[in-house]
Structure 1
Amino acid sequence: MENVPNGTYAMVNPQVENDPAKRQGMVGMIVDTNIDNDDIWVSFGKSEVGLYSTNALMVLQKPDIISQNAMDKRFEISGADFKQLMEISLLQADRRPENAKTALEMARSSEAVMQNSLTTLQDKLGLELNYEMAAGRRR
């Protein structure tokens, strides 16, 4: 299981149905975590912090996976989406925080780009959360 360091950028899944902070599709920075309770706090700027679960947040896949996805789907996606995926892969490989944010923002450009460059934080961490069990632990 990977660890999520504070300062990691994440995007709120645009399809998340219950988002009290109303930040679907927005990119923010992880500022605190409690993986045991599946609690991730994400900052969207001055004093704007939302609480999310790991399955409501999207993060970039590893750069080699993104570029491989682009190559595998090059005849199925548009030329613009292919180019966008390759640019995201290069930005992600650079590992500078500002590039990670830019890459996440670029990933919102189309459904094909999102599907081939993003994964849920839950999947990236390798978590298998049983929400009934998690709720039972909170009692």
Structure 2
Amino acid sequence: MEELAGTTVMIHPKLTQDPINMQGCVGTISNVLYEDCASYVNFGLGHFGVYNNDALLMLMPTEVALGKLPNDIDAMDLDPSEVLDIFRISILNESGIPEKQETALRLALASPVISAAIVFTVQDWVDFQIARLDQQQNPGRGR
């Protein structure tokens, strides 16, 4: 499974219970607790929080987002400007520069259509990765 440490995430803006009040703030995953479905998020300057993976929003990796884009264009009736925005957001996210990744995430979340196409929760990503691993395994035969 791909490592999520270093991934830029946003705390869901509508999170109802957040003991450190970081709803809508962007941080970086420092550690994932897969068994607990939670992650440590670093907000900088010594501010950390532990969040349920369903409360953490992230951009799909570019290869996934662009791989499903042809289907999304039809299924979601994306117009050309939205497709172009998805490419631009993906390029910003691929830069590896935290400030550009934050901008990319905020731009994606500003549009409900684009958000539906390329933003998901960390838990969605973990589940996607597990499903992908399960599909890659071939059943063995015992003799």
TM-score when normalising by structure 2: 0.69
Higher normalized contact order (CA 8 Å, seq sep 6+, divided by chain length): 1
Distance in 2 (CA, whole Å) between partners of 1:22 and 1:70 is: 34
Distance in 1 (CA, whole Å) between partners of 2:25 and 2:102 is: 11
Tell me the equivalent position of 2:15: 16
Tell me the equivalent position of 1:126: 127
Tell me the equivalent position of 1:132: none
Tell me the equivalent position of 1:85: 86
Aligned partner letter, 2:127: G
The Cα offsets for residues 65-106 of structure 1, whole Å up to 9 and x where unpaired, read as: 434066336745583x443222112334x3524343332132
Tell me the equivalent position of 2:104: 103
Distance in 2 (CA, whole Å) between partners of 1:64 and 1:4 is: 16
Task: Please give the secondary structure, in 1, of the residue aligned with 2:44.
Answer: coil
Percent identical among aligned pairs is 26
Q: Structure 2 matches for 1:46-65, cutoff 5 A?
A: 46-65=45-64
TM-score when normalising by structure 1: 0.71
Distance in 2 (CA, whole Å) between partners of 1:110 and 1:119 is: 14
**Count of residues in correspondence between the two structures:** 124
Contact 1:25 1:108 in 2 (8 A): no
Show structure 1 runs of 4+ deviating over 4 A: 73-78
Distance in 2 (CA, whole Å) between partners of 1:72 and 1:62 is: 21
Cα gap change, 1:126/1:103 in structure 2, threshold over 3 Å: closer, same or farther? Answer: same
Tell me the equivalent position of 2:5: 6
With 65-74 and 2-11 compared, the bigger mean Cα shift is at 65-74
Distance in 1 (CA, whole Å) between partners of 2:16 and 2:35 is: 23
Shift of 1:39: 2.6
Distance in 1 (CA, whole Å) between partners of 2:80 and 2:2 is: 34
Distance in 1 (CA, whole Å) between partners of 2:63 and 2:32 is: 27
Shift of 1:6: 2.2
Gaps of 5+ in 1: 128-139
Contact 2:56 2:121 in 1 (8 A): yes
Task: Please give the secondary structure, in 1, of the residue aligned with 2:73.
Answer: helix
Gaps of 5+ in 2: 129-143
